[in-house]
Amino acid sequence: MRLALMALLAWHDYRAEVRLSVCAVLALVAVLAPLLVLFGLKFGLVTTLTERLERDPAVREVVPMGGGRFSAQAIAELAARPEVAFVVPRTRQIAATADLYPDSAGQALTVEMIPTAAGDPLVAPALLPQAPDQVLLSQRAAEKLGVQGGDVLSAAFGRQVGGRQEYQRTRLRVQGVLPLAAFPRDALFAPLALLEAAEDYRDGQAWPGYEPQVNTARVYPGFRLYAADLDGVERLRRYFAERQLEVATQAGVIAQVRSLSHNLTLVFWVIASLALAGAFAAMTASALAAVERKRRALSVLRLLGFSTGALIAFVVLQALYTGVFGLLLAWGLYGMAETGLNRLFAPATGEYACRLLPSHYLLALLLTLLCCLLAAASGGWRAARIEASEGLRDV
The predicted pLDDT at position 261 comes to 85
Give the pLDDT of residue 395.
41
Please state, in angstroms and as integers, the Cα–Cα distance from residue 75 to each residue in 46, 71, 120, 169, following that order: 34, 6, 15, 30
State the Cα–Cα distance between residues 218 and 203, nearest whole angstrom.
13
pTM of this structure: 0.75
What values do phi and psi take at 203, rounded to 5? Answer: -85, 5
b/e per residue 217-254 (b: at least 16 CB within 10 A): eeebbbbbbbbbebebbbbbbebbeeeeeebebbbebb
In the 8-state DSSP scheme, what is residue 125?
A: G
Q: Among 37, 17, 45, 28, which Cα is nearest to 260's? A: 45
How far apart (Å, rounded) are the C-alpha atoms in residues 155 and 158? 10
Mean pLDDT by 10 residues, the chain (395 residues): 71 80 87 90 85 86 86 91 94 90 77 93 88 90 90 89 84 92 92 90 79 69 92 91 89 87 87 84 77 69 65 78 91 92 75 87 89 77 60 50
Q: Strand 109-116 and strand 187-191: pairing?
A: parallel
Task: Name the residue type at position 50.
Answer: T
Q: What angle do CA 299, 301, 307 make, to 5 degrees?
A: 100
The residue type at 345? F
Q: In 3D, which of 194, 173, 60 has the Cα closest to residue 117? A: 194
- pLDDT value at position 376? 79
Q: Supply the pLDDT for residue 138.
A: 94
Closest to 263 (Cα-Cα) out of 25, 8, 12, 49 = 49
Distance CA 216, CA 150 (A): 34
Strands (E) in 70-118, as ranges, are 70-71, 84-90, 97-102, 109-116
Instruction: Determine the pLDDT at residue 370.
Output: 87
The pLDDT value recorded for residue 394 is: 44
**How many residues can be counted in the chain?**
395
Burial of 339 (0-12, 13-18, 19+ CB in 10 A): exposed
What pLDDT was estimated at residue 111? 94
The predicted structure's pLDDT at residue 227? 94
Q: CB-based contacts of 31: which residues, under 8 Å, 6+ apart?
A: 275, 276, 278, 279
Domain boundaries, the chain: 2-54+256-392, 66-245
